[in-house]
Structure 1
Amino acid sequence: MESAAPLTITRPPEIATASGNTFLCLVRFALANIRRRPERFVLSVLGIALAIACVTVVRTIAASFAITGAESVTDVIGGAQLWVVPAAGVHYDTAALALVADGPASAITVVPADWSAVRTLSGTTSVNGMTVSVRGNDSVAAGHAAVGEQLATRLGVGPGDRVVIGGQSLVVDPSGPGESATVSTDLAHSVVGDNGWWTITAPEGEQKRRDLAQIFGAATGLPTTTDPAVQPDRNGSGLIYDTVGGVGPLTFEQNFSALFSGKVTGSTLGLISTIGLILGFVIAVSSFLAAVAERKREFGIMSSIGLADEVLYFFLVESAIVFVVAYLVGVLGAGAAVALVIPGIATVTAWAQAAGMVAAFIPAMAIVGALIPVHRLLQQRPVDLLGGR
């Protein structure tokens, strides 16, 4: 009797699955659901887009102010390490688009050996009907005006042209970027008085020292700070801003620009934009919750055959589509709004920075927006979902 051959059981080959195909299926599934209820998709996108547009507009204005702040203080300081402001302080003149001194420059009579101290008079005047920042120091010859590029563009003048400042006709000399016209000290004094500041340059080879402000402060008796948010004592003699001795990753110019942007984001506009973003997120979650309630039976079938994970992935994909479309509509709408309403303040660079900042929040909002309804859905048994109406 022959022995029976051993029975060999072979497993059928597994069906290869490609994650790319799965993703495309989820995208098609999400798009099909959007086509089923296009009005819900449109309303969700518009609600979120409006919130994103509000935030983008506010952040664009804030970024524009930050850029303006950095450029204006760089224009003042140049290559100096210390900036001595008057006791009355300085302010940014929105009409002149430049920093302007609010009081007489500090009386500095003693300067350490080999140090350079330059007094610059500062104020505003009217040129061709425009408010213009006027500065004065001894580096500009009489009869000439060193005009910044941006100011020259506003005034419509070029090298060799003439401009009238303080009743004198001056030859325009190019002076790099900036919104100020620098004239001789005598002429500036007749226009703005003694208002101004000092810029201090340390000797070559010592300009990176962290104790420059302490050295100069000890020589002049003036207080020092590395924080541009600190204001001088109005009853004092002035304040030394140290632009190289600060701690932390940010430069003095960056900290100064943050003061400008903070005035916008910390204002009522910033509060409104934050509330708008929260409301947009609530609109998205409400839309997804309604979609879950309508399709409980479908998701119950998917869960009962072991596709619970696909339910989560489906909502993640649909949420991503909604938020990406809303983001594009929102930032483009915000760009058009600022270009039409405040073209003199907002710039393309500021809009791009704002759009990038808002984009950083989109993935988190999309994921959380999908997880909230899915979490509630997956807490139920498939049989309960199948019995839902």
Structure 2
Amino acid sequence: METSQVGDAPTVVRSPQIAVGSQNTVLCLVRFALANIRRWPERFVLSVLGIALAIACVTVVRTVSASFAITGENSVTDVLAGGALWVVPAAGVHYDPDVQALVADGPAPDISAPPGWGASRVLSGVTQVNGQSVSLRGSDAVAAGEASVGSGLGERLGLGAGDRVTVGGQSLQVTVDGTGESLTVPTEVAENVVGQNGWWIVSAAAGSAQRRDLAQIFGAAVSLPSTPDPAVRPDPAGAGLIYDTVGGSGPLTFEQKFSALFSGKVTGSTLGLISTIGLALGFVIAVSSFLAAVTERRREFGIMSSIGLADEVLYFFLVESAIVFLAAYVVGIAAAGIAVALVIPGIATPTAWLQGVAMTAMFLPAMAIVGALVPVHRLLQQRPVALLGAR
């Protein structure tokens, strides 16, 4: 700084101030964090591996959950085929993982649709084709001598349009229709294999397709209860149950509710509990790692606090924790992807893995922030003099 005088008025000439932008500050914090990681690489690697293991555990469970959700939605969409109501037997229906489709557990209710309504009975059961368990359905919409195969089942059985398949002792010509996992044959052929087990798919009368009370109207006509909730099971002592696929309240469709029901079975199971425990352990590992870092550098941060850089200490730990969690996230989701591809390739799909990755990512910001705030809060509660005097 120089001082000049013009007449009696002194003039102060100041040195130019160094410009510091927010971008430069962030880069400095990142460089500071990376330098610290290089000083203690063993701690960084162990922290990343511990957190990555927890993230991998959560991602695997979320991937399986998402896969079940996709499977549930696809299976019920395949069953409904655009119908407004689904009338199931008193014994209910279940998802058979061996045939990858919904299967009826009893005979379809005996109903007579009111005039103007469309009701199509679908027989449902399981049979063996080429040594594999297959979902078999019977429908009057399939022409005699033919068998309609979903593309998914066709790939699994190696069947294409024009091939022949034997069902119930009859040789049928294959046609490919849709993407489902079921083999649909004429009703009389299916009866020889699965009997009367099945359900009804009902379409609304002309001009009433947009009504939200279709289930109540149809239920009153055929004397059956109805519900828009797929979690409700039919009364075994009753005649059957009507699932309302177009009515009900809330923003979710029937297919989405059914999907959530499938997903909830995974997240609410022992596997889901284990993933939650794993996530908690990963958080404990992260906090423990940052507490150790704080203890090792008490004098360093004491100097920073004594010159008014207490806020920078907080920002530094936030940046460092973000780097640790980002590295752990990448390693964890990669390990989870490899695990599901090797162990459960038939269940987990790339789409399900991506959904699991996205759901796991929602935990990271909170974990990174809290993981840094807990140890730094303990640090900043002490006076700089106490930090400088630490050994």
Instruction: Tell me the distance in 2 between the aligned counterparts of 1:379 and 1:14.
Output: 33
Instruction: Tell me the distance in 1 between the aligned counterparts of 2:322 and 2:27.
Output: 14
Q: What's the counterpart of residue 214 of structure 1?
A: 216
SS in 2 for 1:245: coil
Q: What's the counterpart of residue 334 of structure 1?
A: 336
Percentage of matched positions with identical amino acids: 73
Task: Write out aligned runs for 1:163-312 (5 A).
Answer: 163-312=165-314
SS in 2 for 1:198: strand
Q: What's the counterpart of residue 378 of structure 1?
A: 380
- How big is each residue's C-alpha offset from its partner over 1:90-121, in whole Å with a ceiling of 9 and x where there is no partner? 00011111000000000102x22211000000
Structure-2 change in CA distance of 1:376 and 1:136 (3 Å):
same
Instruction: Tell me, yes or no, if structure 1 residue 63 matches structure 2 residue 84.
Output: no
Instruction: Tell me the distance in 2 between the aligned counterparts of 1:11 and 1:135.
Output: 89
Instruction: Tell me the distance in 1 between the aligned counterparts of 2:279 and 2:369.
Output: 16
SS in 1 for 2:102: strand
Counterpart amino acid of 1:26?
L
Q: What's the counterpart of residue 127 of structure 1?
A: 129
Q: What's the counterpart of residue 41 of structure 1?
A: 44
Instruction: Tell me the distance in 2 between the aligned counterparts of 1:114 and 1:191.
Output: 32
SS in 1 for 2:209: coil
- How big is each residue's C-alpha offset from its partner over 1:180-220, in whole Å with a ceiling of 9 and x where there is no partner? 01101101111000000001001344222110001001101
Q: What's the counterpart of residue 137 of structure 1?
A: 139
Instruction: Tell me the distance in 1 between the aligned counterparts of 2:168 and 2:301.
Output: 79
Task: Write out aligned runs for 1:9-48 (5 A).
Answer: 9=12, 12-48=15-51
SS in 2 for 1:163: strand
TM-score by length of 2: 0.97
Q: What's the counterpart of residue 9 of structure 2?
A: 6
**CA shift at 1:7, angstroms?**
3.3
Instruction: Tell me, yes or no, if structure 1 residue 82 matches structure 2 residue 81.
Output: no
SS in 2 for 1:376: helix
SS in 2 for 1:273: helix
Instruction: Tell me, yes or no, if structure 1 residue 96 matches structure 2 residue 90.
Output: no
Instruction: Tell me the distance in 2 between the aligned counterparts of 1:271 and 1:65.
Output: 17
SS in 2 for 1:7: strand
**CA shift at 1:10, angstroms?**
5.7
Counterpart amino acid of 2:241?
L
How many residues in Structure 1 have an aligned counterpart in Structure 2? Answer: 386
TM-score by length of 1: 0.97
**CA shift at 1:9, angstroms?**
4.4
SS in 1 for 2:178: coil
Counterpart amino acid of 2:53?
L
SS in 2 for 1:15: coil
Instruction: Tell me the distance in 2 between the aligned counterparts of 1:79 and 1:218.
Output: 22
Q: 1:108 aligns with which of 108, 111, 119?
A: 111
The gaps in structure 1 that reach 5 residues or longer are none
Worse overlay, 290-299 or 195-204:
195-204
Counterpart amino acid of 1:34?
I
Instruction: Tell me the distance in 1 between the aligned counterparts of 2:247 and 2:304.
Output: 63
- How big is each residue's C-alpha offset from its partner over 1:203-241, in whole Å with a ceiling of 9 and x where there is no partner? 344222110001001101100000000000001000000
The gaps in structure 2 that reach 5 residues or longer are 1-5
Instruction: Tell me the distance in 2 between the aligned counterparts of 1:266 and 1:79.
Output: 31
Instruction: Tell me the distance in 2 between the aligned counterparts of 1:10 and 1:213.
Output: 86
Q: What's the counterpart of residue 3 of structure 2?
A: none
Instruction: Tell me the distance in 1 between the aligned counterparts of 2:56 and 2:46.
Output: 15
